[in-house]
């Protein structure tokens, strides 16, 4: 099918883009990489009357380090983040997670902002940004707001972004020394959306005792899910295989999966347990190996 008719604008600045959103309100949609929006328009699931194409807003395309944070512009391509030496050094789990997204042409067009605003609970970027406790900076007619993942992801394909706002930046804490990390997902074929994914972080102060753990799961609920009780089990403890096994069981009990044609809820819950255990083991091995 072809999309229904729309007007098309190419603003050059954020202010201009917000002005267009103000003028056309809910009839307008921001277009970034187009890798989710255009298929939805072609299937007429989305029928915006106005497209505000932000690809000419060059100020939204950057990756830099500020104090202990990576700061990434909303229009930065997924592939640019994946191959960035700065990201690979300061936050390698982000590069790793992005490498699971679709195929190279999709990552080359798709953007950080687009993936986050699209808010698919099986998408890799929302899951890893949740685990990393990243913050989304959004700008609209009344100024800027900074939203954490818990606030930003509302439910399936729904973020807390107001229709007049643009996601301008993502701020992600860099990993401190002695942090074990792992991103894993289960899918049927390379490039498919994950059925279940897990981002695991073990912040090890002295390499023996875990100071803090962060676990975010995708595909097991309406938003990326932090399994906070499982995280609490790990915090302050010496990591052992038995503790990892317990944390995996706890994490799976915290999930709220639904059955669909890809997998039953029960199967997803089981994958959550297995992949939490595997990713925690990998994260722990990375710290032990001094990587
Ligand atoms: C074949 C295929 C396979 C894919 N596989 C995967 C996969 O395995 N994992 C995965 O995570 N994704 C996958 N994707 C989706 C891909 O990652 C998209 O690029 C991403 O979800 C959306 O990013 P985008 O820049 O293309 O956004 P667009 O499609 O341009 O926009 C998506 C939504 O976000 C809004 N939006 C975009 N940018 C902004 C902004 N800065 N401010 C406000 N609103 C904004 C748009 O209005 C729209 O509602 C796949 C896509 C395709 C076509």
Question: Does the domain at residues 179-288 carry the CATH identifier 3.30.390.50?
Answer: yes
Mutate to test the pocket of ligand 1, among 17, 25, 101 (most ligand atoms within 8 A of CB): 101
> What's the average model confidence in pLDDT over 18-38?
98
Cα(250) to centroid of ligand 1, in Å? 32
Q: Are 182 and 244 a contacting pair, CB within 8 Å?
A: no
> Which contacts (CB < 8 Å, 24+ apart) does range 81-85 have?
81/112, 82/107
- CB of 215 closer than 6 A to ligand 1? no
- Domain 7-56 fold is 3.30.43
Q: Indicate left, alpha or beta for 148 from its phi (over 0: left) and psi (-120 to 50: alpha).
A: beta
pLDDT at 176 over 80: yes
d(CA 267, CA 176): 35
- CB of 32 closer than 6 A to ligand 1? yes
pLDDT at 291 over 60: no
pLDDT at 1 over 80: no
Look at residue 150 in the predicted model and tell me its pLDDT.
Answer: 97
The ligand 1 atom nearest the CA atom of 54: 41
Residue 192 CB partners (closer than 8 Å, separation 6+): none
> 207 falls in which pLDDT band (50, 70, 90)?
low
Instruction: Return the residue whose CA atom lies nearest to atom 47 of ligand 1.
Output: 30
Instruction: Return the residue whose CA atom lies nearest to atom 1 of ligand 1.
Output: 102
Cα(278) to centroid of ligand 1, in Å? 28
- CB of 124 closer than 6 A to ligand 1? yes
Domain ranges of the chain: 7-56, 60-173, 179-288
d(CA 142, CA 220): 35
Phi, psi values for residue 2, rounded to 5°: -110, 150
- CB of 117 closer than 6 A to ligand 1? yes
Instruction: Return the residue whose CA atom lies nearest to atom 38 of ligand 1.
Output: 114
Look at residue 208 in the predicted model and tell me its pLDDT.
Answer: 79
What percentage of residues in the chain have a pLDDT greater than 70?
99
Class of domain 60-173 (CATH, top level): alpha beta
Residue 267 CB partners (closer than 8 Å, separation 6+): none
* 211-236 pLDDT, tens digit each: 999 999 999 999 999 999 999 999 99
Look at residue 206 in the predicted model and tell me its pLDDT.
Answer: 73
Look at residue 96 in the predicted model and tell me its pLDDT.
Answer: 98
> What's the average model confidence in pLDDT over 273-287?
97
- CB of 122 closer than 6 A to ligand 1? no
Cα(243) to centroid of ligand 1, in Å? 37
> What's the average model confidence in pLDDT over 183-200?
94
Q: Are 225 and 216 a contacting pair, CB within 8 Å?
A: yes
Q: What is the mean pLDDT of the chain?
A: 96
Look at residue 290 in the predicted model and tell me its pLDDT.
Answer: 66
Cα(213) to centroid of ligand 1, in Å? 29
d(CA 224, CA 282): 21
């Amino acid at each position: 099918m072809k999309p229904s008719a729309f007007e098309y604008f190419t603003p050059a600045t954020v202010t201009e883009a917000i002005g267009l959103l103000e003028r056309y309100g809910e009839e307008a949609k921001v277009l970034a990489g187009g890798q989710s929006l255009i298929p939805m328009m072609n299937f007429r699931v989305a029928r915006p009357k106005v497209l505000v194409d932000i690809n000419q807003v060059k100020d939204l395309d950057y990756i830099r380090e500020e104090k202990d944070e990576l700061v990434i512009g909303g229009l930065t391509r997924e592939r640019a983040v994946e191959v960035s030496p700065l990201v690979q050094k300061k936050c390698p789990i982000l590069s790793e997670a992005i490498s699971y997204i679709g195929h190279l042409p999709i990552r080359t067009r798709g953007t950080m902002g687009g993936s986050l605003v699209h808010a698919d609970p099986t998408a890799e970027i929302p899951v890893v940004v949740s685990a990393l406790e990243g913050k989304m900076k959004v700008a609209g007619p009344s100024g800027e707001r900074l939203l954490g993942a818990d606030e930003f992801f509302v439910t399936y394909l729904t973020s807390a972004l107001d229709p007049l706002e643009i996601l301008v930046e993502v701020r992600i804490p860099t990993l401190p020394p002695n942090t074990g990390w792992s991103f894993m997902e289960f899918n049927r074929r390379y490039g498919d959306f994950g059925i279940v994914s897990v981002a695991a972080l073990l912040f090890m102060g002295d390499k023996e005792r875990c100071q803090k753990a962060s676990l975010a799961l995708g595909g097991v609920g309406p938003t990326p899910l932090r399994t906070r009780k499982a995280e609490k089990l790990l915090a302050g403890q010496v990591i052992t295989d038995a503790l990892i096994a317990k944390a995996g069981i706890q994490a799976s009990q915290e999930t709220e999966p639904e059955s669909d044609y890809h997998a039953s809820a029960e199967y997803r819950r089981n994958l959550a347990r297995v992949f939490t255990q595997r990713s925690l083991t990998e994260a722990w091995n990375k710290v032990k190996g001094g990587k």
